[in-house]
Each structure stands twice: as C-alpha cells, then as structure tokens.
Amino acid sequence: MGNFMMVLQYEGTRYQGWQRQESTGNTIQGRLEALLSKMTGQEITLQGSGRTDAGVHALGQVANFHADTQMQADEMLEYINCYLPEDIAVISLKEVPERFHSRLNAKGKKYCYRVNNGKTPHVFDRRYTHMVEEKLDIEAMRRAAQYLLGTHDFKAFTSNKRSKKSTVRTIDGIKIEKNTGMSMALWGERNEICFTYRGNGFLYHMVRIMTGTLLEIGMHKRKPEDIADILSSGLREKAGELAPAKGLTLMEVYY
C-alpha cells in the first residue's frame, strides 16, 4: 500500500469548495476522489492540507492518498491530468512515507488576497480579485496588521462559533504591497493591492475576515488600534466584514 502526495492548483470559481459533500459532487475533493477511484479500482479517500471555501483558489494545495497500485507516480500524474477539468491540475505527485499526512504534518501556510483598488475593472483578473473603488490607506492597514502578528486567540476572526477546538494561532508575517506597474500598454495601470499572510494555521474564514477588517481600516471606517480590542473581545461581530472568496488564493503549504 503506497502513500502518495500531490501538489495541485485550481480555480475555485465554479466549485463548492474543497471538502466532499453528500449533496453535490461539485467539489475539488469529490472530483479528485472519483477520478482516483476509477484509476485504481479502489475507493480512495483524499486528505487535503485544509479546506478552501467555495470560490477560493489554490496554487499550492497539498493532498495525499493511500492506494494499492502498480502504477508509478509519473503514470498516475499523466492519467490524472488527462481526465481532470481544465480548472484543476496536479502539478506534482510522488510516493511519500506511510505516516505522512498532508494536514497533520503541515507546519504552516501562505495565502494571498488580491484587491483591485481602482475605478476600472480588469477583465482577465475579475475571478481572482475583489474590487474596492474607494482609495485605501496602505500605511494605516500596515500599522493595523502589526497587531495581528504573533500568537493570539483569533476567535473574533472566525465564522465558526460552534467549534470547541482551540482558536489560538500564530501569524508569522503579513505583507501589504501595491502593484501599480503596467505590464501591457493596453491593460492600463494596475492599482492592485496584495495582502500576503503566513502563519501556522488559519481558522474558518479567518483570512477573509482579517482582510475585510483591514480594508475597513484602509477606508478609515476603523482605526488601526481597533485590532487590539477586536482580538481581546473574542467576538465575531466586533471584526469587519467577510471579504469575498474570489480574491483569496492558497499559495503554499509548509512542511
């Protein structure tokens, strides 16, 4: 019985998130499990490093599965990509030690949230960026982000109120960078702001709520110092709005 690890990317626009659901087969995990089961002739359970929400994308999602097969990893990779839809691709696949688990062994993750902070929509980025026309104060958002760094109880930054698991997480870094370059003359100026988060783990909706809160600070609806009060309150209603899923991409998982 082999244990195989895959790194995959997907555009999450038309899927109901990563996690398999009884009510629909239109999930990333569901699509992959169906394909892997057909390929191996066995019922395959795919373990992902985490669950991305409906509409969220991934450049470096990691998953693993066990299978009793004579196929080599490169043969499986070719088969899988031959039958996957064009918005899902496995970019690497290899056999790993029996005890490897993509979620339990993960040491951290990096996410990127993209905001189009201009008046003009960018047609080719419309599925990957959230448009905010009001000018954002980047320095205010950077000051606010400093309060989120380190180890805190992020209970106020999750939509999951029923979970009994710990809501303590560590954020190692938050970068808020503006890209105003012109890659092509016809595209015009790109007023894009990228929020990059690195941490040991993220709660349900945590990145999107942090981003929504920072955006409100960037629009001067809140002060940077408000983040400290939000954290100490532990109350979801104290934090900002949930930013739309389409701006979020899982970039990398660290082991």
Same domain membership, residue 141 and residue 74:
no
CATH number for position 185: 3.30.70.660
Rg (CA), the chain: 20
pLDDT in tens, 82-112: 999 999 999 999 999 999 999 999 999 999 9
Given the residues 53, 68, 153, 226, select the one marked as catalytic: 53
pTM over 0.85: yes
Asked, for residue 51, whether it belongs to a domain, the answer is yes
Same domain membership, residue 127 and residue 6:
no
pLDDT in tens, 192-227: 999 999 999 999 999 999 999 999 999 999 999 999
Alpha-carbon separation of residue 104 from 19, 47, 167, 245, 255 (angstroms): 16, 10, 16, 25, 10
- Of residues 62 and 22, more confidently modeled: 62
| Nearest to 197, CA basis, from 119, 117, 141 | 141
Q: Which of the four pLDDT bands, split at 50, 70 and 90, describes residue 189? A: low
Give CA–CA dist 217/144, Å, rounded: 8
Assigned token pair, 179: 């890209």
| Nearest to 10, CA basis, from 115, 81, 72, 103 | 81
What local confidence, expressed as pLDDT, does residue 61 receive? 98
Average confidence (pLDDT) over 241-253:
98
- Percentage of the chain beyond pLDDT 70 is 96
Please tell me the total count of domains within the chain.
Answer: 2
Asked, for residue 120, whether it belongs to a domain, the answer is yes
Last residue of a domain, which of 71, 96, 121?
96
Same domain membership, residue 119 and residue 89:
no
Last residue of a domain, which of 68, 96, 124?
96
What local confidence, expressed as pLDDT, does residue 173 receive? 98
- Which phi and psi (to 5°) does residue 232 adopt? -70, -25
CATH number for position 34: 3.30.70.580
Same domain membership, residue 241 and residue 126:
yes
Assigned token pair, 160: 């999951």
Same domain membership, residue 249 and residue 123:
yes
Asked, for residue 102, whether it belongs to a domain, the answer is no
Full domain range(s) for residue 118: 108-254
Give CA–CA dist 159/77, Å, rounded: 36
Residue 53 designated active-site: yes
User: Is the pLDDT score of 38 beyond 90?
Assistant: yes
- Across the strands, what pairs with 2? 67
What local confidence, expressed as pLDDT, does residue 136 receive? 97
217-235: buried (b, 16+ CB within 10 Å) or exposed (e) per residue? bbeeebebebbeebbeeee
Same domain membership, residue 139 and residue 250:
yes
- Which phi and psi (to 5°) does residue 238 adopt? -80, -25
pLDDT in tens, 112-168: 999 999 888 888 889 999 999 999 999 999 999 999 999 999 999 999 877 788 999
Assigned token pair, 209: 């709520």
